[in-house]
Chains A and B, each alone.
Chain A
């Protein structure tokens, strides 16, 4: 839909002259592209402007680093500024002798408060604490039941006072719940308040009364990550009325760029502590400013993606897959297995969509074929092994034979070969490194905390940027996950040793690179 940032920057900086220094002039267009990208990611427009100014201030006068291109240097600066802007120390939930710590959840309607309250309670329980859930939404139909169902599934008690006449009593109910928790030995109380608009004065006053009566130690603003420009105003007003301590960003399992994160952090000054990554109670993760920065910049949430893949595939396997891919030419066999992998991937497609730029496009293209996969598969299977390895052999006669043999129209076979060529060229271009590959390293290089990242990337740099390499490997990995775990494959021991050596070399090189930067 939008031109990806990498493409745009590539375009803008393609005419870089001999300038040795970054100046306000020679980076202006590039910065404008990044500012646009921030706006398209829903960063509040004033925040976007201010961040761009900060980057300008930092960039001007810097020497152009020979090893990287100016575009990369600026993206790196931007990524740093965004990361710093979103960084913050999470609040501590106190352990108090003989008294419960109180956590209050607030936010707009439908942002995910009730679900997140349950997620948090589950997390705390697993840390050995004894939570009490409190149904403080006395207004929305079945809001109480919703929390009760969740509480039951987690085996965590829920304090609720149902019945007419209780609609207005949320503050009192919360106070009573705190007292009950104290009596029953719960060491943490979680208040699930009703959703409300920041401009609804009576309801905002009600929240202030809850705050007064229940004296929460930590108050979280639960914010929908798909939010647009208005996230700024609503967060500002919640923060104006209450003492917020942190933000929880929900629904990040989708493909939103999530620029609201930075708006909310900037306007409240409060750190984003957790992210919601699904509807299930276990889908709550820690927030990482650096990952969010690359997501907002449209560089994909690739680190998280890799982590996900890693949960089921071991690092060695991952590295091997990447290397196999890099050495191999992109044959029709690869094409076939890729199409199959895509089809198997199912729900994981969403994850891949988070990956930026051309790989996403390649994927979309392949996906068009998904529907016709049966026919395409038949066509490829009608080819000889030589033909599959070297599609150049497929002259008109052979194509007709393949068509007949697979029960396809000749046009299907022609189209298949054309598409394969296109994909192969795209892979080649991406493997050639260039801007994409380097951008990838830029982000990947910093990700030392993610062990397998190095392995995954192989020589191509970063999965998804190294493009053909990482992306394809990832698809394989994801397909493996679908099949339920690592692939079993007979390995040639020599081959194995060679791979390991190659990987080691790679790692060293990367380490050096990092130091140089």
Chain B
């Protein structure tokens, strides 16, 4: 009985949101609290979490002060507030002044690191740079083989060791080979690790130190791969990872699904870590520089999780 009620209310929201926010705005609606509450729901559906609530609070305050008069005002203002929260866009990968540019790719299990390494490799190849990848995930079954397959398909050299080898030792070999062969970009794949695992985080810190020792200033970029379907835990991930390996950016993977990845708003705002790239598929080409405007389009123009096909019981 309770569940019937739940299902009913879920269906209602789905219908409400089905037309998406654009339609919501389109209706000549009264600007009331219910309207703002619905906006809040849209932001929640996009995993904005507390950042969403704070934004709505601000809208509500401005509405009470009569600064916002029409739903158009609200639309423009909401977008502007979120855009401000996302901060300035950051240009393409930094390059080392001389010698190899080193990119360290990190993240929790299964977020999309290895695939992102392949994507980054392709991205750099496009601008005519030589690339080498390093397989520092010596732990997960066939992680090395996975990267090796990509390396072969993209025709980039790979530095690898046997399963179970010390990741820092692989990183060392990679840095050495890149120096020796005059490689432009060295991309380092690492094992997935939950940020709560101190020992594994220390291991990551060691990889970073080894790179820095071999190539002073390396890694020039440390990118956290976040799964766009991840909720509020993404913020914790960024918080802890950046303590161990200071992050220069986020790759937001799996944006080709229906998840919006809204947690990155808090990550940008609180930790100052910008999203640099978006992963939009499983192929090396499914990769683009992060575009905040398109991110906001996706977040605001349709009704979040609710508008997808209907398989509800």
Contacts and interface: CB of A to CB of B under 8 A. Distances in A.
B232 interface: yes
Interface string B220-256: 0000000111111111100100000000000000101
A42 B140 contact: no
A166 to B, nearest CB: 15
Contact of A241 (B6, B139, B311): B311
A359 to B, nearest CB: 16
A240 B141 contact: no
Task: Tell me the interface secondary structure of chain A in the complex.
Answer: helix
Q: Which of B13, B143, B259 has the most CB of A within 10 A?
A: B259
Contacts of B195: 254-255
A109 B283 CA distance: 13
Nearest to B5: A50
Given A227-B229, A234-B258, A240-B310, A255 B236 contact: yes
13 contacts: A1-B236, A54-B2, A141-B150, A229-B305, A230-B259, A230-B260, A236-B310, A237-B311, A255-B196, A255-B236, A260-B231, A269-B313, A347-B197
Given A238-B311, A240-B309, A240-B311, 20 more contacts: A1-B239, A42-B233, A45-B45, A46-B9, A108-B229, A112-B109, A141-B145, A145-B141, A148-B142, A224-B229, A226-B231, A228-B229, A228-B230, A229-B47, A232-B305, A234-B257, A251-B109, A267-B312, A269-B313, A346-B199
A231 interface: yes
Nearest to B47: A228
Contacts of A228: 47, 229-232, 234, 259, 262-263
A336 interface: no
Contact of B112 (A110, A239, A256): A110
A199 B259 CA distance: 11
Given A254-B194, A350-B194, A266 B6 contact: yes
User: Which of the four size classes fits the interface of chain A?
Assistant: 35 or more
Contact of B227 (A44, A199, A224): A224
A340 to B, nearest CB: 16
A68 interface: no
Nearest to A141: B149
Contacts of B310: 236, 240
B282 A140 contact: yes
A109 B279 CA distance: 13
A229 B231 contact: yes
Q: Which of B112, B233, B263 has the most CB of A within 10 A?
A: B233
Q: Which of A227, A254, A268, A349 has the most CB of B within 10 A?
A: A254
Given A228-B259, A254-B195, A349-B196, A39 B141 contact: no
Interface string B267-291: 0000000000000001000000000
B6 A227 contact: no
Interface of A: 1-2, 39-42, 44-47, 49-50, 53-54, 108-112, 114, 139-143, 145-150, 153, 197-199, 224, 226-234, 236-241, 251, 253-257, 259-260, 266-269, 279, 346-347, 349-350, 353
Shortest Cβ-Cβ A-B pairs, 6 listed = A240-B311, A228-B231, A110-B110, A350-B196, A42-B231, A141-B149
B110 A230 contact: no
Interface residues of B, number: 67
B41 interface: yes
B67 to A, nearest CB: 26
B46 interface: yes
Given A40-B49, A141-B150, A256-B233, A230 B305 contact: yes
Nearest to A232: B305
Interface string B41-52: 100111101100
Nearest to A237: B311
Given A108-B229, A141-B150, A45 B44 contact: yes
A353 to B, nearest CB: 6
A251 B308 contact: no
Nearest to A251: B109
Nearest to B227: A110
B10 A50 contact: yes
A255 B233 contact: yes
Given A253-B194, A254-B195, A279 B227 contact: no
Interface string B145-177: 110111001000000000000000000000000
Contacts of B47: 42, 228-230
A239 B231 CA distance: 21
Interface of B: 2-3, 5-6, 9-10, 13, 41, 44-47, 49-50, 108-112, 139-143, 145-146, 148-150, 153, 192, 194-200, 227-236, 239, 254, 256-260, 262-263, 282, 304-306, 308-313
Contacts, number: 201
Contact of B308 (A50, A199, A350): A199
B6 A141 contact: no
B198 A350 contact: yes
A140 B149 CA distance: 10
Given A39-B49, A254-B194, A279-B109, A145 B44 contact: no
Q: Which of A46, A198, A224, A254 has the most CB of B within 10 A?
A: A46
Contact of A347 (B110, B199, B306, B313): B199
Contacts of A268: 313
B139 A279 contact: yes
B189 to A, nearest CB: 12
B174 to A, nearest CB: 19
B9 A146 contact: no
A239 B313 contact: yes
Nearest to A281: B141
B50 to A, nearest CB: 7
B111 to A, nearest CB: 7
A199 B257 contact: yes
Nearest to B260: A230
B2 to A, nearest CB: 6
A112 B110 contact: yes
B306 A233 contact: yes
Nearest to A153: B141
A142 B196 contact: no
A231 B229 contact: yes
Nearest to B43: A45
Contact of B108 (A2, A230, A234, A254): A254
B45 to A, nearest CB: 5
A263 B313 CA distance: 14
A501 to B, nearest CB: 39
A265 to B, nearest CB: 10
B14 to A, nearest CB: 8
A234 B149 contact: no
A251 B230 contact: no
A233 B227 contact: no
Contact of B142 (A40, A145, A199, A259): A145
Q: Which of B5, B139, B230 has the most CB of A within 10 A?
A: B230
A49 B142 contact: no
A54 to B, nearest CB: 6
A146 B146 CA distance: 9
